[in-house]
Amino acid sequence: MGRGVDCVSPPRLTKGGPAIDRVVLSFCFLSLCLLVGQLIRSNVRWTQRLLLPASVLGGLIGLVVIQVVQRNAPGAAPFMEAATAGWSRLPGFLINIVFATLFLGVAIPPLKKVWQWAGPQLAFGQVVAWGQYAVGLGLTLLVLTKVFGIPPMFGVLIPIGFEGGHGTAAGLAPVFADKGWPEGADLALASATIGVVLGVSIGMALVNWAARKNYSKGAAEELADTGKRGDGIVPKSQRKSAGLLTFSNDSVETLAIHVSVVAVAILIGYGLKIGLAGLELTWLRNPDRAILGSFPLFPLAMVGGVIVQKLFDRFDRRDVLDHGLMQRLQGLALDFLIVAALATLKIEAIVSNFAPFAILMVVGISWNVWCVVFLARRMLPDYWFERSIAEFGQSTGVTATGLLLLRVADPKLETTAVDAFGYKQLLHEPFMGGGLWTSTVVPLLYIYRGNPWPIWWITLGAIAVWLFVRFVIFRKAWAPGAAQP
């Protein structure tokens, strides 16, 4: 018989010792950061009160470790480089999974039904989102560019970070770099982090205000229990299934099929990107004015997901796609995306732009608060606070933040807010918060960098259109307590 072969090969040796396996080390260090983030969330009280996600905490821990090593232990640079290998490119890939899974596994209702049910909510959400562009660009073009000499693209940091979140900010990093302003990605990530923190902290302050003013009947009783939980661990008695096994294990692993379907959605999006970019170059006489060549993939991956889901709606009679599993894949991608993106953030970009960045953040959060306190009761037909606090959470952080604040304001889900908010996402997400407009505005600002004012006027025009939708098309929106369409 021949000589046996060891199952595990010994480490490869170099002159300096064993070679560093960059793939293993990078994955393990990334996972360790996330675990440490959850450990902090489970044991540090103030992180629970702020409801900070473990991914944000883990990303900040990774950022601190990297910065400390780079500044104080230059000899450890090769090890740290291996431990973070590929991190800077990881968010740009994972964001495609996040957006591709948005509508997979759930039947997409007719647009007419969505429009009837969520029209006023959609109009309010669009005004909040477009207002972030209008306020940010207006302040930047009128004041910040003249005082600090920053580019017009600085003005979209509010909506990219607040409305879009970490995923959108990371996904647009290649676009910022392609358009000559790579530090824009770092500032957008910082904006997203500030948005998450302020979204929860100021959001909870608004819920307390609404409880005192009796604007939200469910908020007062819920606030009494808020400080007693928040460690991020679901009690055993309340744990739910992570998803359904729709395939037999002797045939194929269900999760593998769901991952493959997501890949097909991304592939369709990639085909759309290549096709649209080719058509644009054929049509345009001046390639320098092309937009789609630098257009990110992730919004088109979302379109690919819609196409795939429509095909399953048409031909799949056995409902083999499970939305719960798609949500788990989305959450997995988003958590690792945030850790990698925050840990590789360049502090220098924030420090060198601190004054204009701080001004922009104050103005951005002020706009969102004004929308809740003043605008919401005039645009939303019923339960205006519950509806608007959900929008506030989404427009400063992520959809989960909005749902969390809504759950505090409406703990028993007795209002129409959760349904209106959910239906509204179907028409809101494809365009704002990482959708088609969010991905288009940076290339547009680069093309029209000599005169960016038309883009600002577009944002004002969009606000006017959605105000028209609310107060003209939906002028007879249902009254509080009336039957819903």
What's the burial of 350, exposed, middle or buried (CB within 10 Å: 0-12/13-18/19+)?
middle
Query: Could you tell me which of 51, 66, 71, 96 has the C-alpha nearest to residue 339?
Result: 66
Please report whether residue 5 resides in a domain: no
In this predicted structure, what is the pLDDT of residue 20? 62
User: In sequence order, which ranges of 215-322 are alpha helices (DSSP H)?
Assistant: 219-226, 254-283, 298-315
Please report whether residue 169 resides in a domain: yes
In this predicted structure, what is the pLDDT of residue 140? 95
Summarize the confidence of residues 410-428 as an average pLDDT. 78
pLDDT band at 485 (very low <50, low <70, confident <90, very high): very low
The residue with greater pLDDT, 443 or 232, is 443
Residues 74 and 97 in one domain: no
Residues 371 and 274 in one domain: yes
Please report whether residue 13 resides in a domain: no
Residues 38 and 102 in one domain: no
The residue with greater pLDDT, 88 or 62, is 62
What's the burial of 432, exposed, middle or buried (CB within 10 Å: 0-12/13-18/19+)?
buried
Please report whether residue 363 resides in a domain: yes
Please report whether residue 458 resides in a domain: yes
Q: How far apart (Å, rounded) are the C-alpha atoms in residues 398 and 199? A: 9
Please report whether residue 460 resides in a domain: yes
Residues 276 and 403 in one domain: yes
Helix (H) / strand (E) containing 21: none
In this predicted structure, what is the pLDDT of residue 483? 37
Query: For residue 427, which phi and psi values (nearest 5 degrees)?
Result: -100, -20
Mean pLDDT of the chain: 83
Q: Lowest mean pLDDT: which of 10-24, 109-123, 382-396? A: 10-24
In this predicted structure, what is the pLDDT of residue 116? 78
Q: Is 18 helix (H, G, I), strand (E, B) or coil?
A: strand
Residues 78 and 114 in one domain: no
Residues 71 and 165 in one domain: no
Please report whether residue 123 resides in a domain: yes
Query: For residue 18, which phi and psi values (nearest 5 degrees)?
Result: -60, 140
Residues 140 and 66 in one domain: no
Residues 330 and 467 in one domain: yes
Summarize the confidence of residues 16-30 as an average pLDDT. 77
Contact by Cβ (8 Å): 349, 187: yes
In this predicted structure, what is the pLDDT of residue 19? 54
Picking from 85, 112, 133, the residue at the C-terminal end of a domain is 85
Residues 77 and 219 in one domain: no
In this predicted structure, what is the pLDDT of residue 277? 81
Picking from 85, 102, 126, the residue at the C-terminal end of a domain is 85
How many folded domains does the chain comprise?
Answer: 2
Q: How far apart (Å, rounded) are the C-alpha atoms in residues 77 and 448? A: 41
What is the value of pTM for the model shown? Answer: 0.78
Picking from 61, 85, 109, the residue at the C-terminal end of a domain is 85
Cα angle 170, 173, 175 (rounded to 5 degrees) comes to 135
Q: Is the pLDDT of residue 81 over 70?
A: yes
Q: Is the pLDDT of residue 3 over 50?
A: no
In this predicted structure, what is the pLDDT of residue 318? 87
Per-residue buried b or exposed e for 232-253, using 16+ beta carbons within 10 Å of the residue's own CB: beeeeeeeeeebeeebeeeeee
pLDDT band at 287 (very low <50, low <70, confident <90, very high): low
Q: How many Cα atoms occupy the beta-carbon half-sphere of 299 within 13 Å?
A: 21
Structure tokens at 32: 């360790």
Residues 73 and 148 in one domain: no
Residues 51 and 144 in one domain: no
Question: Between the CA of residue 292 and those of 50, 246, 296, what are the distances in Å?
Answer: 39, 38, 8
Summarize the confidence of residues 228-250 as an average pLDDT. 77
Please report whether residue 481 resides in a domain: no
Structure tokens at 336: 């690792």
C-alpha torsion angle, residues 169, 172, 173, 176 (rounded to 10): -120
The residue with greater pLDDT, 410 or 464, is 464
pLDDT band at 452 (very low <50, low <70, confident <90, very high): very high
pLDDT band at 146 (very low <50, low <70, confident <90, very high): very high
> What is the extent of the structural domain holding 51?
18-85
Q: How far apart (Å, rounded) are the C-alpha atoms in residues 478 and 314? A: 33
Q: How far apart (Å, rounded) are the C-alpha atoms in residues 448 and 440? A: 12
In this predicted structure, what is the pLDDT of residue 480? 41
Residues 45 and 110 in one domain: no
Q: Is the pLDDT of residue 178 over 60?
A: yes
Cα angle 56, 58, 61 (rounded to 5 degrees) comes to 110
> Who's near 480: CB < 8 A, 6+ residues apart?
381, 382, 383
